[in-house]
Amino acid sequence: MKIRFKNKELITRPHLLQDEYRVIIKEKTLQGYYCYTFFNDQLHELTVNENEVEVTDHDMSDMIQRNDLGYGRELYINEFLIKLLPLQPGQFISTRSLWTAGKLFRYFEKYNYEIPDSYKEKVLNESYKMNLIEGFLMAINPYMERKFKGGNYFESFELYKGKAVSEIDLKINDSLNELDRKDYKDLLKYFIEKALYDTDDNEMHSKNFSSTLFVLIDSLFVYDITRIYSYKTFYDNCFVIEYQNEYYYLNQFWWG
């Protein structure tokens, strides 16, 4: 399904230079009219009322009906999009989120969207995302370390790209185990949360930090990861992610 604006001269919002736009969501409002959601030229989501546009392509074969997402109101959504980004009732799509924008890249790729420089510079820029993670770890590592205040033992996180798992030379008491890839998200979340635990009074802070770190790390992977591993040495406890023949190590290490 595609739409175009009835009068382009009246458009006040920026980044709407195309003749028509592909609809990702068609939904009925409480007032009984339809509204359409689409991505503009900067791949930001916009919603317009039916009186602003006209439908240029009525084909909805790539959309499925999901009234549950609209609290029972009539709602259709692009089937491939909802596979990439499972939504909850009432949840909005926002590509201003680095994680969401990354998960939707395969949608943009499938439908041949023109990818703007602003998207390439952030969402498709691994160096940018690695720097974000490094900065976040600089902030939360002192949070982790204060739990060991007064002792000679401390724990910290670091994330780096390392050697292939097949090249690891295991020493005495080292371990390397492949984990079930289908449990990737749950295992990574647990790995992070276990290290970021805190007192009951600060439990909510720990959960928020854990959630943010998971999202930042997972945003690195636009396509499906290949394998995951647990790699442990005397000083290191690593969650290893294999992705496109490269290896990402989230290391919870101790020192002191």
Q: What is the pLDDT of residues 123-136, one digit of tens each?
A: 999 999 999 999 99
Q: What is the pLDDT of residues 79-125, one digit of tens each?
A: 999 999 989 888 889 999 999 999 999 999 999 999 999 999 999 99
CA 19, 25, 29, 34 torsion: positive or negative?
positive
Give Cα separations from 183 to 190, 191, 210 (angstroms): 11, 12, 17
Where along the chain do its domains lie?
2-121, 126-255
pTM, two decimals, is 0.90
CA 178, 184, 187, 192 torsion: positive or negative?
positive
Residue 202's pLDDT is 64
**How many percent of the chain have pLDDT more than 90?**
76
Contact yes or no for 188/211 (Cβ under 8 A) = no
